[in-house]
Amino acid sequence: MPKLITGVGCPYCGSSCDDLEVLVSDDETKVLEVHNSCIIGSNLFHHANDPTRPRLPRQRQPDGSIKEIPYEEAIDYFAKTLLAAKKPLIYGFGSTNCEGMSAIGRIAEKAGAVLDNCATICHGPSFLAMFDNGYPSCTLGEAKNRADVVVFWGCNPMHAHPRHTSRYSIFPRGYFTGKGQMQRTVISVDPRETDTAKLADVHLMLDQGHDYELFDAFRTVLRGHDIPDKVAGIDKETIIKSVDIMKKARFCMIFFGMGCTHTDGRNHNIDAAISMTRDLNDHTKCSIMAMRGHYNIAGPGQVWSWQFGFPYCIDLSKGTHAHMNPGETSSIDLAMRDEVDCFVNVGADAGAHFPIQAVQHLKKHPFIVVDPNFNMASEIADLHIPVRIAGVDEPGVVYRMDNVPIQFKAVLKGLPGVPSDEELFDRVYERMCEITLTQPIWLAAKENRKYPHNTNPMVS
Amino acid sequence: MSKVIMNMITQRSIEEGAAMEKGKTNPDYFDACSICEINPEDMKKLGIWKNTNVRVTSECGSVIVKAIEPTQFCPPGLAHIRQGVWANQVVPPRTQSTGTPQYSGFPVTIEPAINEKLKTALELVQGSVGLWKGGK
Ligand code: SF4
C-alpha cells in the first residue's frame, strides 16, 4: 500500500512550506504524488526518483575521464586536499540541513578555511545593512494575521516564492485580517510589471537601479518635507499616495529582494529601507523582511553565528579566531583576486550561478563538489561526492526566511551507501584528525551521535 | 540590423525554478534560461523578429541567447535574462566590495546573431574552463 506522509517540508525556496503531503510507494523508495506544493516543489520531489542519481563519488582522472571511486577514497582525498591547501574556500549551504552546516564548521576550523554561504551572492548586502542599522522584523505569522498593507520592494514572489502570497502575505485570512486579500492593500515596487505587480493595488514602476532615491523620497515625505515632481521615474503624487497608504496602515509589512541587493548601492538600498521602516514606526507598526532564497539559507547564518559569531564570509585561516569582512573575505572577491587554492562547493551550484570569470579562477585549483545531483559545478569538479537530499531522504532542521526553525522530514529511504552531508563531513573531520594526529575534540563533544560507527574515531 | 545598448537585469522565473529542479542538463532548463526578454520596441530598433538569436555582450563576456517578447512587461531599454548559466556568461563579477556581483543593472550591447547557434549549459560552463569534449 502506498503511504501518504503529511506535514512534509519543501526543500526549495525560503517559504519553506511545511504543509506538503507526499504519497510514497510501499517500500518508501519512490515518490508517487506530491500534494499542496507549487510546481517547483513537485518537480524537486519527483526528481528524487531519477534512477540515474549518482550513488558513488566520481573522480576526474588525469586524462579527463570520470571514474567512480569508493567513499573511503573520496573522504581521504577530501581530507588531504583541504589540509594541503593554504587557504581553501568552502562555499554553498543554501540547500542542506543545519546538522550539515554545523559539521562543516568543524572541518573549516580544522582546515583554516574561509567558510561562506550563498548569502554572499544573495542577501549578503542585507546582512551588511542589518549590522549598520538593525533589523525591525517579525515572523510570517504576524504578517498573515495582522498586515493590512503589504509592500513588495524589488521582489517577485509569484515566481521566486510561489506560495508566499497564498500562505503568508496576500491571500490568507488571518486572525485580524479575516477578509484576506480584500482587507490588504498591496504595493509593488519593480521596474518590470511582474506577475506580483499585477496583483498589486499600486505598482511603482521605477527606473531600474534608482531604489535608493525612491527610499529617500519616501522618507522625505514621511518627515513632512517637499520632494521634486518626479523621483526615480515616479510622480510626486504617486509617492505621496503610497506613503499615505503605508502611514495609515494598521500593520505595514515590507518584503524586499534581489531588486535591492543585486543592484547599484547593494547594502545601502537596504539601509534606506530599514531606516524607512523605523520612520514608519513613528506613525504605525511596520516590519521589514528579507525574501531569503533557499529553504535553509537562513540556517548557515544562524548556525555559524552560534559557532563563530559571524553569519558568512568567515575567514578561519588565523586558526585561533575568526574574521569577517565581505569585500575581502567573500567567495567572489577571493576568487577574482586568486586568493584561494582549493574550492569546495556544498549544496549549491557555483558552476551555474557564479559569474563565469569567478568560476574560471576557482577552477585553477582542486575543485570538490558535494551534492545529491549532477549540476554544473559537479560537471567541472575534480571530485563529486553524492549525498542524501535534505528534506527528501534525510531529515533535519531548517530555518525559514523569518528565522523560524522547522523540523523537516525524510519521505524516502536514502540510497544505500549514500551518506548525509553531516555523516560525510564527520568522516572527513575524523580523517583530518587521523592525518594530523590530533584528537577529534568536536566529535567527542557531540552528544547523541547519530552515526554509531563514528563512536570511536581514533580506530578505523 | 543594428546594435543597441541596453540595461540588463537577471532575475528569477517560475519556469527557470521548475526546470532547474528537473536538472540543469534537462532540455527544460535550456528552454527556460537561454532567452533574453526584450520589449518589441527594442526589437524594432534591432531590426529583428521575436524568437531570433541575438548576441549579448557586456564588459566581461558575451553570449548567444534567443530574443523573446517579455513574459512579464519589460519597459523599452531594459533587457532581462533569467538567472542561470547563460546570464552568468555576461554578469560582471564586480562587487562594490560587498561580495555580491552586479547581477542586475549593467550595460550590455545587443546585436542580431540570426545565424549563430545557442550553446548548451554544459558546453558553456565546461567550455569556459577547458573541459568541453563535445563538438563545436
Ligand atoms: S513556495 Fe517554495 S517552499 Fe513552498 S512549495 Fe513552492 S518551492 Fe516549495
pLDDT at B2: 87
CA distances from B128 to A225, A357, B9, B21 (A): 53, 9, 22, 24
Nearest C-alpha neighbor of A294 from the set A398, A202, A200: A398
Residue bearing the CA closest to ligand 1, atom 4: A17
- Ligand 1 atom having least distance to the Cα of A162: 1
Q: Do A194 and B97 touch (CB under 8 A)?
A: no
pLDDT band of residue B136 (cuts 50, 70, 90) is low
The alpha carbon of A85 and the centre of ligand 1 are apart by a number of angstroms equal to 38
Amino acid in the structure at residue A358: A
A83-123 pLDDT, tens digit each = 999 999 999 999 999 999 999 999 999 999 999 999 999 99
The alpha carbon of A117 and the centre of ligand 1 are apart by a number of angstroms equal to 21
B75-128 pLDDT, tens digit each = 999 999 999 999 999 999 999 999 999 999 999 999 999 999 999 999 999 999
Place of cell 556544498: A346
How many Å apart are CA A121 and CA B99, to the nearest integer? Answer: 6
pTM of the model: 0.95
CB A113 within 8 A of CB A89: yes
User: What is the pLDDT averaged over residues A187-209?
Assistant: 98
A302-316 pLDDT, tens digit each = 999 999 999 999 999
How many Å apart are CA B64 and CA B59, to the nearest integer? Answer: 15
pLDDT band of residue A356 (cuts 50, 70, 90) is very high
How many Å apart are CA B76 and CA B73, to the nearest integer? Answer: 9
Other Cβ atoms within 10 Å of A26 Cβ, number: 10
The alpha carbon of A163 and the centre of ligand 1 are apart by a number of angstroms equal to 6
- B98 to chain A: nearest residue by CA? A327
Give the list of residues 6+ apart from residue A130 with CB closer than 8 angstroms, or none.
A270, A274
Q: What one-character DSSP code corresponds to residue B73?
A: B
Other Cβ atoms within 10 Å of A55 Cβ, number: 12
Phi/psi for A204 (5° steps) reads: -95, 105
pLDDT at A458: 45
The response to whether residue A420 sits with its C-beta less than 6 Å from ligand 1 reads no
A63 pLDDT exceeds 70?
yes
Residue bearing the CA closest to ligand 1, atom 5: A37
Amino acid in the structure at residue A274: I
B19-40 pLDDT, tens digit each = 999 999 999 999 999 999 999 9
The response to whether residue A16 sits with its C-beta less than 6 Å from ligand 1 reads yes
Give the 3-state secondary structure percentages of chain B, helix then strand then coil, rounded to 5: 25, 30, 45
The alpha carbon of A302 and the centre of ligand 1 are apart by a number of angstroms equal to 21
How many Å apart are CA A27 and CA A3, to the nearest integer? Answer: 9
Of A162, A264, A352, the CB nearest to B14: A162
Reported ipTM: the value is 0.97
A116 pairs with which residues across the strands?
A91
Of B24, B101, B131, the CB nearest to A375: B24
- SS3 sequence of chain A: CCEEEEEECCCCECCCCCCEEEEECCCCCCEEEEECCCHHHHHHHHHCCCCCCCCCCEEECCCCCEEECCHHHHHHHHHHHHHHCCCEEEEECCCCCHHHHHHHHHHHHHHCCEEEEHHHHCCHHHHHHHHHHCCCCCCHHHHHHHCCEEEEECCCHHHHCCCHHHHHHCCCCCCCCCCHHHHCEEEEECCCECHHHHHCCEEECCCCCCHHHHHHHHHHHHCCCCCCCEECCEEHHHHHHHHHHHHCCCEEEEEECHHHHCCCCCHHHHHHHHHHHHHHCCCCEEEEEECCCECCCHHHHHHHHHHHCCCCCEECCCCCCCEECCCCCCHHHHHHCCCCCEEEEECCCHHHHCCHHHHHHHCCCCEEEECCCCCCCCCCCCEEECCCCECCCECEEEECCCCCEEEECCCCCCCCCCCCHHHHHHHHHHHHHHHCCCCCHHHHHCCCCCCHHHCCCCCC
Mean pLDDT (chain A) is 95
pLDDT at A449: 55
Distance from CA of A307 to the nearest CA of B (A): 22
How many Å apart are CA A31 and CA A409, to the nearest integer? Answer: 14
How many Å apart are CA A357 and CA A363, to the nearest integer? Answer: 10
Residue bearing the CA closest to ligand 1, atom 2: A13
Residues in chain B closer than 8 A to A156 (CB atoms): 11-12, 72
